[in-house]
Amino acid sequence: MMQTRRTFLRTSAAAGAGLFTEVLGASPAPTVLALPHQTEDVIFLTPDDAAYAAAREVHNAGILTKPKRIAMCATENGVQQTLQRAKSEGWPVAVKSGGHSFEGFSLNDDGLVINVSPCNELHLDSRTGLLTAGAGCRLRDVNRLLLSKGRFLPAGSCATVGLAGLTLGGGYGMFARKWGLTCDHLRSLRMVDGTGTIRDSVTDPDLLWAARGGGNGHFGIVTQLTLQTRVAPRAFSSWKFRAYRLNQALTEKLLEAWFDATAALPNDAFSAWIMNGTQVTVLLTTTGAPEEKGVAAFRRTLTALTNKATSAAPVPLTKALPWYYGEAGPVSFKNTSAGYYKGMADLKGALTGIFQGSAHGAWPCVSNQHARRRNRQRSRRSLPASRIPVSRRSTGVLGKRRPRGGFAGSYREDSRPYRASGN
């Protein structure tokens, strides 16, 4: 059947349900996910089209940039046609996969956006463990296919991050200390360069070198990636530690202890520090033994220095990864984050700023709930009305809303009064 813009929109809205059935194993062990197909190589959307809002949607709700056209590209030929059109019209071009660029680099104002989300085929070679993915695949789709086959790809945590943007930028996550970045697993890629020529790193090996963490401003439009997957670890254990009502001195003390404790962690383990106003949550995870020396020492130290320690029994990765999937989006960011700080010296200045801000009634006093309400109101005011139901629908496609912060699961709580002096 020839697809029109309208049928394209309908199949997109129904995609989630099909994807769930496929991955949860109702059909006989497929290696290619039957995601919705767009039969045209490319569909150009204007702001008047019903599908435009969904095609423009990015994870950061604060990005209001509005392209003149969005080209939904399902094939390399579609990307080539789009580049030709952009050239003849003199439109600037941006490239969008998962739309998770915090800064909104995958959109532009009054230009053309090449949206590769219809390039969403996934194929796992069960003999070699090589995953071939269209540039429009999201992390959730990748995880579903791989975990159902006992494989996995060390990557980030957010379900809707695009595999292309993540890999081109590096791809850091809970498994990076042991297995490296997502881009370390990249074996080949295909792209269309600015002249409209198709390039393949198999015949142009420098391209592979440049794409492995070279950053997001790439040489062309990546259409396909091939990555080496790994055998999925059997079990995943996790703990979280919470400290409340911190001041700068207490935060520095806790942070110093955390840096010391992380240095002794084995490579199976990972820890993250999440600060929200005067509250800190420290996450600890491992795919190794929960009683390993460094892990046990970390737990002792953090339990002694925080108000509340909770733990989750070891679970398979299929169960654990969705705990960290985050929100379907779009969301309003009020946080900053970084994958790697060397030590206290990198952070001291920032802490002073945070606590001075707090003393002056700045952002830490805004509760999450209040911020969310305020941001929803802002989005309603500033975005086209069609945008709001679209984002709600996409939450529904995920099945259920995930608890904020990504620390769901069956945690056992071990509350204790906070010891201001620590030890």
Ligand X SMILES: Cc1cc2nc3c(=O)[nH]c(=O)nc-3n(C[C@H](O)[C@H](O)[C@H](O)COP(=O)(O)OP(=O)(O)OC[C@H]3O[C@@H](n4cnc5c(N)ncnc54)[C@H](O)[C@@H]3O)c2cc1C
| Residue ranges that bind ligand X, judged by CB under 6 A | 59, 94-102, 105-106, 116, 135, 156-158, 161-162, 164-166, 168-173, 216, 218, 221-222, 326
CB of 347 to ligand X, least distance (A): 20
**Least distance from C-beta 197 to ligand X, angstroms?**
15
Q: Is the distance from CB of 183 to CB of 222 less than 8 angstroms?
A: no
Instruction: Identify which of residues 93 and 250 has a Cβ nearer to ligand X in the complex.
Output: 93
Q: What is the DSSP string of 241-310?
A: EEE-S--HHHHHHHHHHHHHHHHT--TTEEEEEEEETTEEEEEEEESS-TT-HHHHHHHHHHHHHSSEEE
Which has the closest alpha carbon to 324: 152, 173, 101?
173
What residue number has its CB nearest to ligand X?
165
Residue closer to ligand X (CB basis): 116 or 261: 116
What is the smallest separation between the CB atom of 150 and ligand X, expressed in angstroms? 23
Return the exposure string of 135-150: e unless at least 16 CB atoms fall within 10 Å of the residue's CB, then b.
bbbbbbbbbbbbbbbe
* Cβ proximity to ligand X, 19 vs 114, nearer residue: 114
Q: Nearest approach, Cβ of 248 to ligand X (angstroms)?
A: 28
* Distance of closest approach, residue 257 Cβ to ligand X, in angstroms: 25
Q: Which residue has the tokens 């945590």?
A: 157
**Alpha carbons 341 and 105: distance in angstroms, whole number:** 25
Contact indicator for 60, 102 with CB cutoff of 8 Å: yes
Rounded CA-CA distance 317/99 in Å is 25
The single residue listed with the structure tokens 């509250």 is 279
The strand order across the sheet containing 198-200 reads 122-124, 130-134, 220-228, 186-193, 198-200
Name the residue nearer to ligand X (CB basis): 10 or 85: 85
Minimum gap (Å) between residue 8 Cβ and ligand X = 19
Residue with Cβ nearer ligand X (145 or 174)? 174
Shortest distance in whole angstroms from residue 385 CB to ligand X: 24
SS3 152: strand
**Least distance from C-beta 43 to ligand X, angstroms?**
17
CB of 80 to ligand X, least distance (A): 14
DSSP for 9-43, written as a single string? HHHHHHHHHHHHHHHTTSSS--SB--PPP--SSEE
Looking at beta carbons only, is 43 or 116 nearer to ligand X? Answer: 116
Helix (H) or strand (E) segment spanning residue 411:
strand 411-415
In the complex with ligand X, the residue whose CB is nearer, 213 or 364, is: 213
Least separation in angstroms between residue 158's CB and ligand X is: 4
Measured CA distances, 192 to 40, 116, 280, 327, 353 (Å): 18, 12, 45, 32, 45
Give the nearer residue to ligand X in terms of CB position, either 89 or 103: 103
Between 10 and 372, whose beta carbon lies closer to ligand X? 372
Residue 61, number of CB atoms within 10 A of its CB: 20
Could you write out the DSSP letters of every residue in 380-401? HHHS-TTHHHHHHHHHHHTSSP
Q: Output 147 or 222, the one with its CB closest to ligand X.
A: 222
